[in-house]
Structure 1
Amino acid sequence: MKKIYLIIVFFIGIVSSEAQELKWHTNVNEAIAIGNKEHKPLLLFFTGSDWCGWCIRLQKEVLLTPEFANWAAKNVILVELDYPRRTFQAPEVKKQNNELQQAFGIQGFPTIYFANAKNIEGKVNFEGLGNTGYVAGGPAAWLAVADKIINGNKS
Structure 2
Amino acid sequence: MIDWPIAELVPHATDMILIDQVLAFDDETIQTRLTVRPDGPFNRPDGSLPAWIGIELMAQSVAAFAGCQARLRGEPVQLGFLLGTRKYECNVEHFPHGSELTIHARRSLQDDSGMGVFECTLSGPDIEVFARLNVYCPPNAADYLAEGAVND
Instruction: Identify whether the pair has TM-score above 0.5, normalized to the shorter chain.
Output: no
Ranked by relative contact order (alpha carbons within 8 Å, sequence separation 6 or more), the top structure is 1
Q: Give the alignment's TM-score, normalised by structure 2.
A: 0.30
The structure number with the bigger radius of gyration is 1
Q: Give the alignment's TM-score, normalised by structure 1.
A: 0.29
More strand by share: 2
More helix by share: 1
